[in-house]
Structure 1
Amino acid sequence: MPTQGIMGWHLGLSFLLAWILLALDVTNANRHEDGENDVSSLVNKVAKANNESLLWGPYKSNLYFGVQPRIPKSIVAGLMWSRADDYEALQKNFRHTCEQSDEMAGYGWEEYDPRTGGRETIHDANNQLDITIDFVKISGGKHGGSWAARVKGTPREDAPSDLSTTVIFYTTLEGLGRLEVDDWETESRKVGTEGNVRLSGATMELGRFTIDVTAGPDNDHPHCNHPSCEPKPLDKTFVASMEIPSEALWQSKIMLFATMRQTLQEALQEYGEQNLPPPERLFTVPHIPGKGNMHFVQKVFRGPFEFDILFSSGSSPEPVTSEKLTKQIENNAKSFSTNFEKVFPRKSPFNTPEYAEFSKNMFSNLVGGIGYFYGSGIVDRSAAPEYDELDEGFWEEAAEARERAKPEEEEPHELFTCVPSRSFFPRGFLWDEGFHLIPILDYDVELAFDILKSWFNSMDEDGWIAREQILGLEARNKVPPEFRVQYPHYANPPTLFMVLESILDKLESSKPGKKGGDLNAADRLRSIDFENRDLALAHLRSLYPLLKRQYFWFKKTQWGDIKSYDREAYSTKEAYRWRGRTVMHILTSGFDDYPRAQPPHPGELHVDLISWMGMMTRALRRVASALGKTDDAEEFSGYEDAIKRNIDDLHWDDAAQTFCDATIDEYEESVHVCHKGYVSLMPFLTGMLAPDSPRLKPVLDLIGDSAELWSDYGIRSLSKKDPNYGKDENYWRSPVWININYMILKSLYDVGTSPGPHQSQARQLYSALRKNVINNVFREWKRTGYAWEQYNPDTGKGQRTQHFTGWTSLVVKIMAMEDLSTAGGHDEL
């Protein structure tokens, strides 16, 4: 293998994985009696290469830039910065964690590939600075390879020509290992470091490694005439090393300020309050390089600046250099654009250049926001009888039981997941994650499987998965106390099963890929599952017991009562009710404040939950069938048929011409509670209605009615005619949400491309809605610099959480969906 120049770098990943491709070709070409052993061997080889390819990443997604490996209690590296020439601004605008209150003019990944890296830009208006970070991953060696980052700062147009900026690179080590500044005994006798700073270390999982923080090319530094600047000039790099309790390592900003306090105290003592050094000099760490589990490397710049951070694994063929980083940045940008356009070709009318940057930005922020979490969650396993919610007034009894309970920290576990928003929701959410994985599955199948398995492996023995994953002190610090505790009787929409259906769709339509060709190994690894059916089936086979366990947990814990109220239905068993209901909310449903029956009643039946159960059952039936488990497939087929019939029997209201929740009235009779909107659409959105269903026409009419759900910006969450429209919290009571609009579009597409009596109507709705949704999200991104949690149904403006690049990034998938406005099609009469 070449060891010099760009060829060594570019081919590093290819050579790392080449033997996998050889094994794949041999396996496909030479089937024999030991086929199962061959598949098992292939699975293990791909898993090893996949883990190495995905070991490093910006997995501290709550930070503007934070790198760590997918290893518990390991290395973390990050950046902090602030404008340095103003005392107040320096303290107020010191950046570290992503915060909405920072009032950024925009930030995020312009392009990002989870296996090779990408570019992040941060437009820091209050610090009058734009920062560009090019992050590159380099495979090679047995410890997951190396990585590097180039940090560039450019003053904004309104900045002074002599803008001063202080930048701190820091790294921490939790757990066993070594981390220290090279030649620290010599360096500690200096007032600062000239040139590069090198740290070296070792851990069991990563082996030996070095971290170089370069001086950068021709950077300028603030001029300082204060007497304090002569012994500690600002053209030096200052390094502070320390040992602190491991549970405090995540509080690096607090630790930095505590370290700077020493400099402040020394200045006060020597110069007094009336002659303090300028802020650039005052807010510096003392130069105390050495050993420790936390190290700060501080630079102070004047005007634009640039420096590199180079992590070199000791097992890699050669160390990382700035010259090689430059070439790899160029290569990565080209390969990402090529791969992205191939996977997500924008269809008419969005196949124009102005949407290209938007599309790449949305997807890159989704995958650039993938995080790795390790820690303990807080769970209430008291199993109080009130939690069964069987009595009238159950919500009050359950609340009292929660007050009496003593939740405990569970054993720590890891989770690899996307996050809905790096600034506001930097943790895993169960019902969001299924939507996140839909576009990821298109781009990188092995990555999607990794995330799926991580979620299902967090399941407990009963089949419960916590709907909000708040793992460890750092994640907990971002969550109000009342939302930190998780309850093993509370569910969440099982959207991960949507991803399973997408996998099966791809399996059924895929053909074995060509061996060799112009694909490099990274591209091959992203799609290897659909080139080799056995590999994908092996993943599904490993998941199957967990899928069944969660399915039957749902049936056991979220059942709805049919028999006690003499309800007429095809099946006496297929009815469902969300637990966790209060008067104003069913947070567990995902549709938090969507109007429901008043007052709450233990005899309620929820149409959205039975619809999710139908989709879940269909997905499990299809997985069982693909795995050759015919008895299971037949069993699930029976459940699926019963659910479809019961949706009609229990939830269709002839008078309202819509699907409705059911409850028990004051006469102990079962009655419908109808609130037209997302909940009433769920049987359609989960594929429970056939193209020739007699219920389909009223559903399509409701979607297209501007007096009810239709808007110029997407489908509203609740009908304008509903008395609750826009009232109270107004979270799911009018706004447009992109995840549900995606489900609507997909369902309209399915009807519009299938023979049936409503094909033309579905096509028309699909084409108009697709344009409305994409144009509005694009318009607001151009206007504000962000994707948003939801959109105002009257103005289209983004609202609530900014930088919501979780399921709002589904616009990438929508742009790649077929344009039906000019395609053929007709209604069958």
Structure 2
Amino acid sequence: MVRKRRTPSNSEVKKPEKGTNSAHSSSSNGSSTKGKSSKPFDILGYWKQLVLCIVLGIAVSCGYMGYLETRINTPFDGKKVVLKSGLDIPERFWGSYRPGVYFGLKTRDPASLVTGLMWYFPNRLKPGGHGIRHWCEQGDNLAKYGWVRHDGKNFGEQEIIDRPFSLNTSFIKRLGGSNGGEWSARISVDYINKNVANEAKDELVSLIWYVALDEETKGYIEASYSQTKIIGIKGYTSTLGDFKLKFVNSSGVLDHESFLSTTAPGLHLLKETVISSLRLAAPQKIVLAGELPSFTGHDEKLDPNFVAVQLTGRVPFTMDVIFESGSFSYRPDTLVGDTYTKILQKNRVQFDQTFEKKFQLKTKGIPSSSKEYAFAQAALSNMIGGIGYFYGASKVQSTYIKEPVYYWRAPLYTAVPSRSFFPRGFLWDEGFHGLLISQWDLDIALDIMSHWFDLLNVEGWIPREQILGVEALAKVPSEFTIQWNTYANPPTFFLTLESILRRYGDKLNEDQWATLERMYPRLQAWFSWFNTTQRGEVPGSYRWRGRDPDTTRELNPKTLTSGLDDYPRASHPTDEERHVDLYCWMAMAAHALATLSDALGQDGRKYRQTADYLMDNKLLDRLHWSDFSRRYADYGLHTDSVRLERPQPLPRQQNQNMEMQRVVFKKPEYRLVDGMTFGYVNLFPFLLQIVHPTSPKLETILKDMSQPSILSKFGLRSLSKTSPLYMKRNTEHDPPYWRGQIWINMNFLAVRALKHYSEAEGPYRKLAEGLYKELRKAVISNVFNQYRHTGYVWEQYNDSTGEGSGCRPFTGWSALVVLLMSEDY
């Protein structure tokens, strides 16, 4: 059964007995005269004791409240999971850990040196610096950008199409020395095709490579010269020691160069700092301003923390950037020119061999020379190349404090959902990411999980969105940065954990088992936090916190904590709600934790009992099955008779801009949210494989999934076309999000479940097998076709046309298409 904290009843609480040595009771042992004469004194003593008890009670209460106030930003009291990072893991010290920029390198160190690329076309640069590329921005409207190969350790290569040019960026690394090794980066600029080359003859492109120090980094940087010629950048940090960067023109013609050395106000304003320094030296010749000293308010000169070198060339050309560490005592060759090309090619071959070994697409009939194969490699590489390293503190809030406070400062090594729109860590996304990453490189996956679980506080809570550092904060409006400690997110890391144990089992090495052992107490605390803070009013039920019961603007109050945002729930949020998806997440989590307990030789009986209790279909049916609609559903205070309408303007105020408000036409009642609503939430007992393979309800689910209203030619819709809120706006400003669009993470779970039920003993295997083949093919074909036509993997897909929608690129959980192609779930 579900384990809950047990509060003792009044009869079980041992109450202290009244003392027998009070002034009044002791006086009864004396003479009657003495007792009478001491009576006023006894009353005074009684009141003194009462006042003392009240004061002590207030002190204890205040102390306890103070304790509750501090819990939100008090780290979990246990051994850290991350024992080694930074220079202790040299093969992952340097990397493309700035996913929010088109190309940049930094270290896994809180005080990292930061390097990166900007570029622009001098004859197309607009006032205000519009046209300079730096951060991944959807508004730049690049035809394509993304990694085509990236192994997470040694190298990566990326293709960027900025019409009419292609920029190919890559990097390689070399271990050695005592400060984390060396690397080189290459930027090659060319025309997309010969026809374009003839039309855009002698076009200029300016590349700006920069080095910056953030507020944590101790050291210096400066431009280095050879007579009057800029040859690079040199500097020192406490982690890297002495270093230098050199710029080599490997091919083509570089017309001129310039540099900027100044103090930038922050890493989030590097582009703005460059824009403010640009000078027109001649027609089509724009240069950086050179040295721009900065001063404090007391006229003290600040040391430069930002040095940028601009090289302008005629297309086509290639530039190599070489980072060399002063700790190398012997350097047989420089990572430039032919040496660079040979090492890059060697890494390509190794990547291709490892990719086939891991995913075996050739055995699925996909030739390695095909576009489909290259697409799969790119999808994986964008997931791996989207791994970032962040450092900072979240802003958090609890009911015990009046104002938000900061979490402790900490690092986070994590993949990101989207380099353009979500270049930061998201808790439930990362569990899905781990399914793919762990198959590619288990050590990277475990390292990511370790960093996330080191963010667990003493309550067992992890903030669901990590906005760490000034670059990440610059992408998020301030009102959305606060994280509440009562708000959850689906515990998808248990999906990753279950996948790792199933895939690797006894093949885990000693260090990997040790990592899981250190993680185990934190997984327990996390599960316990869910099982106490998210439980429902009815035994065995669960409820997402965070819905707004007082909103008048939303057609259906959002459930952001569920990850499904505007998916329709009970129309009127109350404490009596029961959410079937959270029930299933908890059943899956309990099963995964029980499995890990057994593998580690720990006592996991309570998790096994919880899993058995929640996976009992009788309980699931009692709480969530609707005999009326014959499907699983949420329960709550609900009515379907809700619309958004614009209020009538007040008399004599006809021009009022009045926002649409929710109007309820029928009184809500407590019921299952069934009716015509059908979509992902209703499928969760199937998606997470809670429904028994022999259950007649499985047959009903499979037949419902086969209906054209939910199953499109491109995948499963998030909400059936017959549902009342299908593709309806949630406010007049918020377009539908989870109300019909096709999401790849949910389709992955559906295909995975169909595979499971097609192989499990039961009467519905054939039905599941047929649907498995149909859905798998539909999802893979559409994601690939949209990538081929648009250059991107998308956040979601239109259920009518298959077109990508939402943000792009979205090579977070949408990259799970690689696992669908390999049929390895």
TM over 0.5: yes
Aligned to 1:620: 593
Determine helix, strand or coil for the equivalent of 1:303.
strand
Please show how residues 732-743 of structure 1 align to structure 2 within 5 Å. Answer: 732-743=738-749
State whether structure 2 residue 135 is matched by structure 1 residue 97: yes
State whether structure 2 residue 165 is matched by structure 1 residue 165: no
Q: Do the aligned partners of 1:437 and 1:448 also contact (CA within 8 Å) in 2? A: yes
State whether structure 2 residue 515 is matched by structure 1 residue 539: yes
Aligned to 2:10: none
Q: Do the aligned partners of 1:371 and 1:416 also contact (CA within 8 Å) in 2? A: yes
1:638 counterpart (603, 609, 630)? 609
Note the C-alpha offset of 1:349.
Answer: 5.1
- Could you tell me how far apart the structure 1 residues matched to 2:224 and 2:574 are? 71
Amino acid at match of 2:774: A
Determine helix, strand or coil for the equivalent of 2:172.
strand
Note the C-alpha offset of 1:209.
Answer: 2.1
- Could you tell me how far apart the structure 2 residues matched to 1:811 and 1:721 are? 28
- Could you tell me how far apart the structure 1 residues matched to 2:144 and 2:517 are? 43
Please show how residues 288-687 of structure 1 align to structure 2 within 5 Å. Answer: 292-316=304-328, 317-318=330-331, 320-322=334-336, 323-346=338-361, 347-348=363-364, 350-351=366-367, 353-383=370-400, 405-508=402-505, 530=508, 532=509, 534-562=510-538, 572=539, 574-582=540-548, 583-630=556-603, 633-645=604-616, 646-664=619-637, 671-674=671-674, 675-687=677-689
Aligned to 2:719: 718
Determine helix, strand or coil for the equivalent of 2:795.
strand
Amino acid at match of 2:335: T
- Could you tell me how far apart the structure 1 residues matched to 2:342 and 2:683 are? 51
2:736 counterpart (722, 730, 734)? 730
Aligned to 1:792: 798
- Could you tell me how far apart the structure 2 residues matched to 1:340 and 1:536 are? 22
Aligned to 2:283: 278
Out of 751-760 and 444-453, give the one that drifted further. Answer: 751-760
- Could you tell me how far apart the structure 1 residues matched to 2:82 and 2:589 are? 29
Note the C-alpha offset of 1:619.
Answer: 0.8
CA distance 1:239–1:753, change in 2 (3 Å): same
Question: Percent same amino acid at aligned positions?
Answer: 37
Amino acid at match of 2:606: E
Q: Do the aligned partners of 1:430 and 1:492 also contact (CA within 8 Å) in 2? A: yes
Q: Do the aligned partners of 1:311 and 1:320 also contact (CA within 8 Å) in 2? A: no
- Could you tell me how far apart the structure 1 residues matched to 2:139 and 2:85 are? 41
Q: Do the aligned partners of 1:238 and 1:287 also contact (CA within 8 Å) in 2? A: no
- Could you tell me how far apart the structure 1 residues matched to 2:767 and 2:668 are? 41
The one-character-per-residue Cα deviations of 1:669-704 (angstroms, maximum 9, x if unpaired) are 852112321001111111212222232111111111
The one-character-per-residue Cα deviations of 1:690-744 (angstroms, maximum 9, x if unpaired) are 22223211111111121x3111100111112211111113211111100000000
The one-character-per-residue Cα deviations of 1:118-151 (angstroms, maximum 9, x if unpaired) are 21111012xx321001211222233221111111
Aligned to 1:824: none
Determine helix, strand or coil for the equivalent of 1:415.
strand
Unaligned runs of 5+ in 2: 1-80, 294-301, 549-555, 640-666, 730-734
Greater CA radius of gyration, 1 or 2? 2
State whether structure 2 residue 171 is matched by structure 1 residue 135: yes
- Could you tell me how far apart the structure 2 residues matched to 1:201 and 1:220 are? 25
Note the C-alpha offset of 1:444.
Answer: 0.3
Q: Do the aligned partners of 1:284 and 1:298 also contact (CA within 8 Å) in 2? A: yes
Aligned to 1:255: 273
- Could you tell me how far apart the structure 1 residues matched to 2:718 and 2:264 are? 49
- Could you tell me how far apart the structure 2 residues matched to 1:381 and 1:715 are? 38
Note the C-alpha offset of 1:48.
Answer: 8.6
Determine helix, strand or coil for the equivalent of 1:688.
coil
Out of 91-100 and 669-678, give the one that drifted further. Answer: 669-678
State whether structure 2 residue 781 is matched by structure 1 residue 758: no
Note the C-alpha offset of 1:49.
Answer: 8.7
State whether structure 2 residue 292 is matched by structure 1 residue 243: no
The one-character-per-residue Cα deviations of 1:496-541 (angstroms, maximum 9, x if unpaired) are 1100001110233x55xxxxxxxxxxxxxxxxxx3x3x33321110
- Could you tell me how far apart the structure 2 residues matched to 1:433 and 1:623 are? 19
Out of 537-546 and 284-293, give the one that drifted further. Answer: 284-293
Q: Do the aligned partners of 1:121 and 1:131 also contact (CA within 8 Å) in 2? A: yes
Aligned to 2:819: 813
CA distance 1:507–1:256, change in 2 (3 Å): same
- Could you tell me how far apart the structure 1 residues matched to 2:326 and 2:633 are? 62
The one-character-per-residue Cα deviations of 1:176-229 (angstroms, maximum 9, x if unpaired) are 443334655x75xx3x43xxx2322222222332211223334242xxxxxxxx
Amino acid at match of 2:671: V
Note the C-alpha offset of 1:542.
Answer: 0.7
CA distance 1:664–1:90, change in 2 (3 Å): closer
Out of 546-555 and 152-161, give the one that drifted further. Answer: 152-161
Q: Do the aligned partners of 1:146 and 1:320 also contact (CA within 8 Å) in 2? A: no
Amino acid at match of 1:538: A
Q: Do the aligned partners of 2:591 and 2:608 also contact (CA within 8 Å) in 1? A: yes
Task: State how many pairs are aligned.
Answer: 684
CA distance 1:643–1:306, change in 2 (3 Å): same
Note the C-alpha offset of 1:354.
Answer: 2.6
Note the C-alpha offset of 1:655.
Answer: 2.0
- Give the alignment's TM-score, normalised by structure 1: 0.79
CA distance 1:689–1:410, change in 2 (3 Å): same
Q: Do the aligned partners of 1:119 and 1:134 also contact (CA within 8 Å) in 2? A: yes
Would you tell me which structure has more strand in proportion to its own residues? 2
- Could you tell me how far apart the structure 2 residues matched to 1:112 and 1:98 are? 18
Aligned to 2:23: none
Q: Do the aligned partners of 1:382 and 1:406 also contact (CA within 8 Å) in 2? A: no
CA distance 1:48–1:239, change in 2 (3 Å): closer
- Could you tell me how far apart the structure 1 residues matched to 2:810 and 2:366 are? 22
- Could you tell me how far apart the structure 2 residues matched to 1:310 and 1:643 are? 57
- Could you tell me how far apart the structure 1 residues matched to 2:511 and 2:761 are? 34
1:205 counterpart (213, 230, 239)? 239
1:108 counterpart (132, 146, 170)? 146
State whether structure 2 residue 162 is matched by structure 1 residue 124: yes
Determine helix, strand or coil for the equivalent of 2:123.
coil
Out of 587-596 and 534-543, give the one that drifted further. Answer: 534-543
- Could you tell me how far apart the structure 2 residues matched to 1:183 and 1:543 are? 47
Aligned to 1:180: 221
Aligned to 2:299: none
Amino acid at match of 1:348: K
- Could you tell me how far apart the structure 1 residues matched to 2:83 and 2:562 are? 40
Determine helix, strand or coil for the equivalent of 2:253.
coil
- Could you tell me how far apart the structure 1 residues matched to 2:687 and 2:307 are? 51
